[in-house]
Structure 1
């Protein structure tokens, strides 16, 4: 049986051109680009909690890195390095080879060097620390949103959660939609190019990636910025053909695992954001707005987005502009399993 260090040499060792010293010593050494600050994030994925134990290992490898790269994208940071730690039930080299194939495919796509990590025996768990760079004071932070900002979301949130519902047998999907949803769940696309463009062109005031649900993650922006907000359901993607509208609404608003970006931007940035959507071939949907907590809206061209004094910090309006009563707003790691 291969030893821990044999496994590392065979499957995890790669050239690290962006590092001063890569794996093989007690620490890696990196040199940030001149004039840059480091953005650092970590995420853990646990079998039975974040993914099915029989998930294709290539896809799991991709997702393991992608969810961390997504955090960097949300702050407008450029991905550079990653460290990987994992607990494996057994030294299954075919499984490990497939996992690292997906991991390094994602790393190559987003310009990431794997500079170190650790392995041990245990219940299947993988954890990544990802490191990126962003100019000082330029990161897209959750506390940067401003009253009067538009709310935007990228892509099609809800597909990953719909894929999970199908995997659980809650819904039957036609073959094409099932593949699309499964891909969204298992091989998400970090919106790095979008995050960089929003930051470099000074288009957005704040951003967050959708990991726990659109409403739950948007709520973090509102809390950190001390604002209230409204989302207009009718502006968001409609239910795919044959999918129950109530199930789709739950997937769309509270499903999570999309890794799309939700961001706030001033109204005057609308033309530039619409042009950016065309340039990236990525749908960017204006779905709501922000206001001072408890303050009424005054923007004439945004009917239905008024916030009455004492209103809830985050409301969702139906097609007639009436607030919806929602029982679930996102994923809770201590309340739910996959």
Structure 2
């Protein structure tokens, strides 16, 4: 890309205070970081592509938030504390009108979560963003998908379904006249990674995952890795009033809550013996926590409403689905 180094210097270098564990962040072939003794480094990489994960016409500040938040959420699901991020940007051409607010959004969220940019790349091509985040978690304390046991409670953070409603507005502007359409569109882009919850659940939760593809799909990953089944009580799903008014009925809102992707909330399991410890650990964290079901030995995921099985045929969010 012509002017690549000027672009990097102007928008990405020296935009943040340097963490004490960053030895070298820019100016050489690799970044150098120092991990504390007794910690493991959690690493996650995601790519967001214009037209698949966001519209090229979307607010670039919101796009930056979504891109980084989705990666931070992966760290939260492992109980890791955010530390460093690398970022590769592909653009059809240099567009500083787009890039300036993008970087404002990117560094605002990075600073909020103590995440320092330590390297990356820029190149010419279709608009896409690839981020690799790294965080720190004490050895033996990482939250995994594989530890759920029969009898564990199933919990989620926040509210579910709003992101899908926001995507409906983005993909079909006729939905813009529905109640709370603009608020839900904003919610699709501006999620809140639950790192504090993840850190608090270390040593308490038996399994965890972030909700990127919908509760149906993501809880299913826990069930598969743990070799268990589950019952989800759909009347317990946490729903927002804007979602209820946007879709017009509780059953429709409940189905949104089960299938909505890119929520970036956490779904986790906790043994009943650790429930009191969980509430104690979470009491000072400003985040709604809701129990939505129980792990069982059915070897499948059952949906119930007031104790009765539902025959809903639902699937999670699919990035490659044609809308």
Q: Provide TM-score, normalisation by structure 2.
A: 0.92
Q: Which runs of 5+ in 2 are unaligned?
A: none
Tell whether the 8 Å contact from 2:165 to 2:246 is kept in structure 1 after alignment: no
Matched, 1:322 2:308: yes
Q: Which residue of 2 aligns with 1:178?
A: 181
**Aligned equivalent of 1:71, options 50, 53, 74:** 74
Aligned counterparts of 1:326 and 1:117: Cα–Cα separation in 2: 44
Paired residue secondary structure (1:37): strand
Aligned counterparts of 1:135 and 1:21: Cα–Cα separation in 2: 23
Q: How does 1:134-153 map to 2 (within 5 A)?
A: 134-153=137-156
TM-superposed CA distance for 1:275, in Å, is 4.5
Q: Cα RMSD (Å) of the superposition?
A: 1.9
Tell whether the 8 Å contact from 1:213 to 1:256 is kept in structure 2 after alignment: yes
TM-superposed CA distance for 1:276, in Å, is 4.8
1:276-319 per-position Cα deviation (integer Å, ceiling 9, x unaligned): 5542221100000112345xxxxxxxxxxxxxxxxxx1111123
TM-superposed CA distance for 1:2, in Å, is 6.1
TM-superposed CA distance for 1:272, in Å, is 3.7
Tell whether the 8 Å contact from 1:277 to 1:283 is kept in structure 2 after alignment: no
Q: Which residue of 2 aligns with 1:265?
A: 270
Tell whether the 8 Å contact from 2:176 to 2:182 is kept in structure 1 after alignment: no
How many equivalent pairs are there?
A: 315
Aligned counterparts of 2:57 and 2:201: Cα–Cα separation in 1: 37
Q: How does 1:78-157 map to 2 (within 5 A)?
A: 78-157=81-160
Aligned counterparts of 1:25 and 1:334: Cα–Cα separation in 2: 37
Tell whether the 8 Å contact from 2:158 to 2:238 is kept in structure 1 after alignment: no
Paired residue secondary structure (2:46): strand
Matched, 1:289 2:290: no
1:222-275 per-position Cα deviation (integer Å, ceiling 9, x unaligned): 000111011000011245235333432332101111100000001133334344
Aligned counterparts of 1:89 and 1:218: Cα–Cα separation in 2: 38
Q: Provide TM-score, normalisation by structure 1.
A: 0.88
TM-superposed CA distance for 1:118, in Å, is 0.6
Aligned counterparts of 1:281 and 1:19: Cα–Cα separation in 2: 30
Moved more, 26-35 or 67-76: 26-35
Runs of 4+ aligned residues of structure 1 deviating over 6 Å after TM superposition are: none
Moved more, 178-187 or 226-235: 178-187
TM-superposed CA distance for 1:136, in Å, is 1.1
1:146-177 per-position Cα deviation (integer Å, ceiling 9, x unaligned): 111100000001111111112233645666x3
Aligned counterparts of 2:108 and 2:280: Cα–Cα separation in 1: 29
Residues 173 and 197 of structure 1: is their aligned pair in 2 closer, same or farther, counting only changes over 3 Å? farther
Q: Which residue of 1 aligns with 2:50?
A: 47
Paired residue secondary structure (1:20): strand
Aligned counterparts of 2:246 and 2:320: Cα–Cα separation in 1: 32
TM-superposed CA distance for 1:210, in Å, is 0.3
Q: Which residue of 2 aligns with 1:228?
A: 229
Tell whether the 8 Å contact from 1:35 to 1:136 is kept in structure 2 after alignment: yes
Matched, 1:216 2:217: yes
Q: Which residue of 1 aligns with 2:247?
A: 243
